[in-house]
Structure 1
Amino acid sequence: MIVCYAAGDGLGHLTRLRSVLHTLRLNGARAEGPVTVVTGSPFARDPRVADGWQVVETPPGAPPDEVIVDAFPAGLKGELTRFPSGTRVTHLARLLRWDAYAPRLPADPPRFDRTYVLEPLDPAHDAYLREVSREVSPLALTDPPSEPIDVDGWLVVHSGPAPETLELVAYAQDMASAERVGPPITLVSPHRPDGLPPGIAHLDVYPACTPGPNVERIITAAGFNAVRQYAPWRERHRMMPFPRSLDDQFARAARARREA
């Protein structure tokens, strides 16, 4: 049994976990067997997201064969400590605001057999993971196959919260006005937010990581999944980073722009 800790109430941790499990299986790495995901995210109730997983809010009692810890090396609040000897433990490392997270580390934090680095990290974060990991290596993710979203015009993609979704739509409208164009705009989001402006179409589609040929522009926040998944279409992708307590979307967006 594989137990995955995907802390957080959003969709991002679950989307990343789907991609990691798919990638490890493609690579022949140890990621076989039933998967139990420990999460409080309401998105885990969506079968499109969690198909094939057992979803729980507290860790199961039976000792797992393997543990995968996403993003936060000791859990969101520092609640994870060293796992029992004999349990294979893997960490999935993405960018954190390390100065904000480091004080949450417990006295006896988890040790990892392997840490997969999914994007560049803060130097202090990287140094810490090398202290608690037997092996640290990069991992380029491959998403499970999915149908493209092919709509005319511009695509705004965000899973919420609603005020941010509306802000992204307004950003798209402002860009269109500044460029003196009037493209159709489609919002892809799990929920149609109250106050969505007239004329904006809404689709509830998951996954939403492959634009079709008629999509002229993609507008998202600067979360890990959006920046990674839309990298092949960087010339069409526009990002608006949002403040997060532990994720640094501003640093991620700046890096993506430098590398474009």
Structure 2
Amino acid sequence: MIACYARGGGLGHLTRLRSFLHTLAVDDEVVVLSDSPFAADPRVSSGWTVRPASADLAALAPDELVVDAFPAGLKGELTRIPSGIRVTHLARLLRWDAYRLLLPGDAPRFDRTFLLEPLDPAHEAHLRAVSDEVATLTLADPPCEPLDVHGWVIVHSGPDAETLELLAYARDMAAMEGASPPLTLISPRRPDGLPPGVAHLDAYPACPPGPGVERVVTAGGFNAVRQFAPWQDRHRILPFPRTLDDQYTRATRARAPARAR
């Protein structure tokens, strides 16, 4: 049995785990330790058993523990991992100067760490010091039907204020380009204050885009930037400030090839 530690209230951890388990073709029983409300959505968690992030690892007795994104948990709470469990870490870009202050003195060691994107050098140095093996890994998503929407799509799981800011960004772009595309918000919920004329669709996953999708607007989260990379000519990114995730650096990296062409 594989346990996946994904403490956090958002959708990103769960989407990344779906891709990781598919990429490695994991066919063992999967228990996901998460308090995210999105874990209750069968489109996200089908085939998993979901337990609270505070579940007792010793009682679960998994063969392997997968620790997503934060090497010692969201707030540095992950310390003593019972012996006999293989520990794998999935590493993405963090604001390392902020996160390293949360590291406990007995931070976990890892049998293997997968680097899912380039990290801050000090972050990578820490992981190499606490990992027996470090390798890069390119994630692949489970196959799904393309998103069959015409016009521009805005993809975000919230909060509402950010969703509306992304919509305003898309409308401003359209006005500057002299365009009037149909706008569709792809989001788990319809936010209060959704402007008239903007359609709402609760679709998961929201990628790949179908042939009718002319533009994709997202924040700078790991999954959005990675998943829409093959359609970079259609993808526009508006990063948001995060306590621990560095969306600005990720967005800058994603834009760099487009500027070089």
Shorter chain as denominator, the TM-score bin is over 0.9
Q: Distance in 2 between matches of 1:130 and 1:259?
A: 28
The aligned residue for residue 168 of structure 1 is: 166
The aligned residue for residue 55 of structure 2 is: 59
- Per-residue displacement from partner, 1:24-67 (whole Å, max 9, x unpaired)? 11xxxxx4311111111000010100111111112242311000
Q: Distance in 2 between matches of 1:174 and 1:231?
A: 23
TM-score under structure 1 normalisation? 0.96
Per the alignment, in what secondary structure is the counterpart of residue 138 of structure 2? Answer: coil
Q: Distance in 2 between matches of 1:100 and 1:108?
A: 18
1:44 to 2:34 alignment: no
TM-score under structure 2 normalisation? 0.96
Unmatched 5+ stretches in structure 1: 26-30
Q: Which amino acid is 2:12 matched to? A: G
Q: Which amino acid is 1:91 matched to? A: H
The aligned residue for residue 16 of structure 1 is: 16
Q: How far did residue 84 of structure 1 move?
A: 2.5
The aligned residue for residue 83 of structure 2 is: 85
Q: Distance in 1 between matches of 2:185 and 2:112?
A: 38
Question: What percent identity do the matched residue pairs reach?
Answer: 69
4+ residue runs of structure 1 moved beyond 3 angstroms?
none
Say whether the 8 Å CA contact 1:82–1:111 is kept in structure 2.
no
Determine which of 15, 28, 50 is the counterpart of 1:33. 28
Q: Which amino acid is 2:7 matched to? A: A
- Per-residue displacement from partner, 1:46-95 (whole Å, max 9, x unpaired)? 01001111111122423110000000000001111142332110000000
Q: Distance in 1 between matches of 2:142 and 2:90?
A: 18
Per the alignment, in what secondary structure is the counterpart of residue 129 of structure 1? Answer: helix
The aligned residue for residue 230 of structure 2 is: 232
Matches within 5 A, 1:1-260: 1-25=1-25, 31-57=26-52, 58-60=54-56, 61-260=59-258
Q: Distance in 1 between matches of 2:158 and 2:145?
A: 22
Tell me the matched-pair count.
Answer: 255
